[in-house]
Amino acid sequence: MSSTAPSGLSNGVRALFLVVLVAAVAGGVGLWYLFLRPAGPAAVLDPSAAPGASTAAGGGGTLVGGVAGTWTIKSGTDTFVGYRVQEQLANVGGNTAVGRTGAVTGTFTLDGTSVTTGSFTATLTGLKSNDNGRDGRVQDALNTRQNPTTTFVLSSPIALGSVPADGQEITATAKGRLTIRGVTKDVEFKVTAKLSGATLTIKASTDFAFADFSIPKPQSFMVLSIADTGTIEAQLTLAKS
């Protein structure tokens, strides 16, 4: 189909034709974005979220010596830290932006029925969503040139209630200090922990406000508005050191 207005039309009709054509193209882009782009991943604590590969396989080796000791985060597709933010897009409507990075390091120490110490650091320059343009704006908003990482450090033990048994999922709350963009705040993560063989999978989620961490909202001509709050989520797979 040619994008040229038919010849012999008045300037007013020609302009109207071009307006309709632009609207049709924009509408087509909106429909493509809404219906043909792959849906973002489910929230990490959503029951429909896919389990980690080692958990799904029903085991991650054989645990020796019980759960007590230091557990180290394993890199790979099962480990990530990321964000979820609601945005309003032109010609599309509401959309949940999801970005994640697998560049995560850290350790946690278990002693009896508690996680006594722990921390993780995620490299934010590796954050990826389903939109390269969004990724660039997020990098600018987080000022990753000067603050390339985010860090969480436990401020008090996590009470598990019982020693994790193989295949058992435990729900708990993790209180600690979260640093983003050079700003540190007290936060509480909702946490689930599940032991599968020699692999421990921790999933965590907490809501945050952009203003709390002095994060300016990313701007784009396609984005009409962004919510004032979002969610930070993590899935960490750990092996006993």
**Domain shared by 3 and 73, yes or no:** no
**Domain shared by 24 and 50, yes or no:** no
Residue 25's nearest CA partner among 4, 3, 47, 8 is: 3
**Domain shared by 60 and 114, yes or no:** yes
Q: What is the mean pLDDT of residues 184-205?
A: 96
Partner residues linked to 174 by β-bridges: 189
Average pLDDT in the chain: 82
DSSP state at residue 212: G
More confident residue, 91 or 66: 66
Residue 178's nearest CA partner among 190, 163, 167, 189 is: 189
**Domain shared by 192 and 120, yes or no:** yes
**Domain shared by 66 and 122, yes or no:** yes
**Domain shared by 3 and 103, yes or no:** no
**Domain shared by 135 and 16, yes or no:** no
**Domain shared by 173 and 79, yes or no:** yes
**Domain shared by 91 and 208, yes or no:** yes
Residue-level pLDDT at 234: 97
Provide the percentage of residues in the chain whose pLDDT is more than 90.
55
Q: What is the CATH number for 186? A: 2.40.128.110
Q: What is the mean pLDDT of residues 76-91?
A: 83
Task: Count how many domains the chain has.
Answer: 2
**Domain shared by 9 and 96, yes or no:** no
More confident residue, 21 or 203: 203
Question: Do residues 205 and 82 lie in contact, with contact meaning Cβ atoms separated by under 8 Å?
Answer: no
**Domain shared by 71 and 188, yes or no:** yes
- What's the domain range around 166? 43-240
Partner residues linked to 203 by β-bridges: 192, 235
**Domain shared by 23 and 110, yes or no:** no
Residue-level pLDDT at 232: 97
Question: Do residues 119 and 107 lie in contact, with contact meaning Cβ atoms separated by under 8 Å?
Answer: yes
Judge whether residue 77 has pLDDT over 50: yes
